[in-house]
Amino acid sequence: MDTARRDWVVRPGGRLAGRLRVPGDKSVSHRAVMLGALADGVTEVTGFLEGADCLATMRAFRAMGVAIEGPEGGRLVIEGVGMEGLRPPPGPLDLGNSGTSMRLLAGLLAGQPFDTVLTGDASLSRRPMRRVTEPLARMGARIETTPEGTAPLRIHGNPHLRGIDYRSPVASAQVKSAVLLAGLYAEGRTCVTEPAPTRDHTERMLAGFGWPVAREPARQRVCLEGGHRLRATAVDVPADLSSAAFFLVGASIAPGSDVELEHVGLNPTRTGVIEILRRMGADLEVTPEGEAGGEPVGRIRVRAARLHGIEIPAGLVPLAIDEFPALFVAAACAEGRTVLSGAEELRVKESDRIQVMAEGLRALGVAAEPRPDGIVIEGVGSKGRLGGGTVDSRGDHRVAMAFAMAALRAEGPVVIRDCANVATSFPGFEALAREAGLALEEAAAGDEDGRRGHG
């Protein structure tokens, strides 16, 4: 991955239009590689997200002896090695910026007959890992962290894990998935109960690969037994709703916009962003079109609308946790106040998204009050504008893309610092955004006020 610092400058105004397809779903792409590698037979993946995070997962399995052809045009061919076929890697597995890779692999590798070390970049090395290492320890896993509970993770493989009935204190699909993946190698039954619904991609894909999974949605509970096999299958990865969210927000806030997003994943554990925008008054037309890779998919048409502030329902928070940077921009352009609470998870993402977004919004003249578990944003209203200015994304891909959309309603250019990590989740964002109508370009070195290209 190119880690050189990159800044953007986005000229103000304009509108979004056209028919777009954003890249493949990151969560589904990760899991397709993991389960395809452990399956018996050859798995073909189409629509794979060729972003840095998913490529890190792919490289990790190649290092453990899995033959993977591609990616080429989003297509992978994975020659599964079976449940017992992984080999010890020649050295530490560097997972870059990918928290999903590290947490899910911690569970999957805990039950192997060999030791592994998982490392990552500076941002990943600050993210909390005890939330997965502690339940895994109850299963018999031996995983060492730093004294702060962060990476690197030193996993001492134990092929004699035992199933547990785990009641998670946090609503986290990554925690749930880590425990379930360890449960594949555990003796007996492994169950996870959560305080709120979270993404269910792991459960869906396990079932698609032939592993029996018992789900109790009303109780936020899922169980499986160890000792089964995974059977290779074809996986068609839908377009990522988290990536589509930036265009949903951009088209909603920019007068005259009309965008149609194609083949978008509509997993009900991910559609919180759609429901929140609708409650704010967004004009969204969702047309279901069946399933792809076990995931519901469809088209979303979005047109500009007058948004109003809301108090975001607690039940929607875990269903939109990755989309809040974009939603904060929608709130900044809405009429009145938007209040978010119960979202302390945002403080331990690729950045402290509550603080970093609040600072960026303030830099653009928006009243934003960060709180320990959320934020209060006073919108400028349908006739108001954001100020131009410079914001620092702190290397957080979703923050960078959110502020790019904010320029649609700005009075002056918006300069966004530290955007290189956008490639972790959305390769090609700049080109697609320009195609849709966003006046985005790379900032020249030392361009502090967005003058480049503006006369």
Strands 295-303 and 283-292: antiparallel
The residue behind tokens 């785990």 is 166
The Cα 374–Cα 347 span in angstroms is 9
The Cα 367–Cα 357 span in angstroms is 11
Give domain 26-236's CATH architecture. Answer: Alpha-beta prism (3.65)
Alpha-carbon distances, residue 154 vs 46, 103, 108, 213, 451 (angstroms): 33, 13, 13, 29, 48
- What is the reported pTM? 0.91
What is the per-residue pLDDT for 445? 57
Assign domain 8-24+239-442 to a CATH class: alpha beta
Q: Domain extents for the chain? A: 8-24+239-442, 26-236
Q: Which one-letter DSSP state was computed for residue 97?
A: T
**pLDDT tens track, the chain, 455 positions:** 445 789 999 999 999 999 999 999 999 999 999 999 999 999 999 999 999 999 999 999 999 999 999 999 999 999 999 999 999 999 999 999 999 999 999 999 999 999 999 999 999 999 999 999 999 999 999 999 999 999 999 999 999 999 999 999 998 999 999 999 999 999 999 999 999 999 999 999 999 999 999 999 999 999 999 999 999 999 999 999 999 999 999 999 999 999 999 999 999 999 999 999 999 999 999 999 999 888 999 999 999 999 999 999 999 999 999 999 999 999 999 999 999 999 999 998 999 999 999 999 999 999 999 999 999 999 999 899 999 999 999 999 999 999 999 999 999 999 999 999 998 889 999 999 999 999 999 987 555 444 333 32
What is the per-residue pLDDT for 5? 80
CB 407 within 8 A of CB 12: yes
End-to-end CA distance of the chain, in Å?
Answer: 33
Q: Do domains 8-24+239-442 and 26-236 have the same CATH topology?
A: yes
Give the torsion sign (CA, 345, 347, 350, 356).
positive
Q: Where are the alpha helices (DSSP H) in 284-394?
A: 324-333, 353-363
The Cα 214–Cα 334 span in angstroms is 42
Q: Which residues are catalytic?
A: 322
